[in-house]
Amino acid sequence: MERRRPSTATTAWIPGRRVRGDPKSPGPLSGHRFAVKDLIDVAGATTTAGNPDWARTHPRPRTTAPVVERLLRSGAALVGKTICDELAFGLEGKNIHYGTPLNPRAPDCLPGGSSSGSASAVARGWVDFALGTDTGGSVRVPASYCGIFGFRPTHGRIPMRGIVPLAPEYDTLGWFARDAATLARVGTTLFGSTEDRLVGSIAVARDAFDLLPEAEHQRLMSIVEHRFPQRRTVTVFTGGRKPWLDAYRFRQGRSAWSLHGPWIERLHPRFAPEIAERFAAAARVTRAEARWADRTAVALARSVHRLLGEDRL
- Catalytic residue (one of 7, 116, 120, 138): 138
| The residue type at 140 | R
Closest CA to 2 of 165, 112, 95: 112
Catalytic (active site) residue 138:
yes
Catalytic residue (choose from 7, 74, 94, 114): 114
| Rounded distance between C-alpha atoms, residue 20 and residue 78, angstroms | 5
The contacts of residue 259 (CB under 8 Å, 6+ apart) are: 165, 166, 168
Give the helix ranges, DSSP H, for the chain: 52-57, 66-73, 116-123, 140-146, 180-191, 214-227, 242-267, 273-283, 287-308
Question: Is 94 marked active-site?
Answer: no
Numbers of helices and strands, H then E, in the chain = 9, 7
Rounded distance between C-alpha atoms, residue 198 and residue 156, angstroms: 22
Q: CA–CA distance from 9 to each of 86, 88, 111, 123 (Å)?
A: 15, 18, 12, 15
User: Measured between alpha carbons, how far is 158 from 202 in angstroms, rounded to an integer?
Assistant: 26
Q: Which of 7, 37, 74, 94 is catalytic?
A: 37
Known active-site residue 114: yes
Identify residue 88 by its one-letter amino acid code.
A
Residues annotated as catalytic (active site), given as ranges: 37, 114, 138
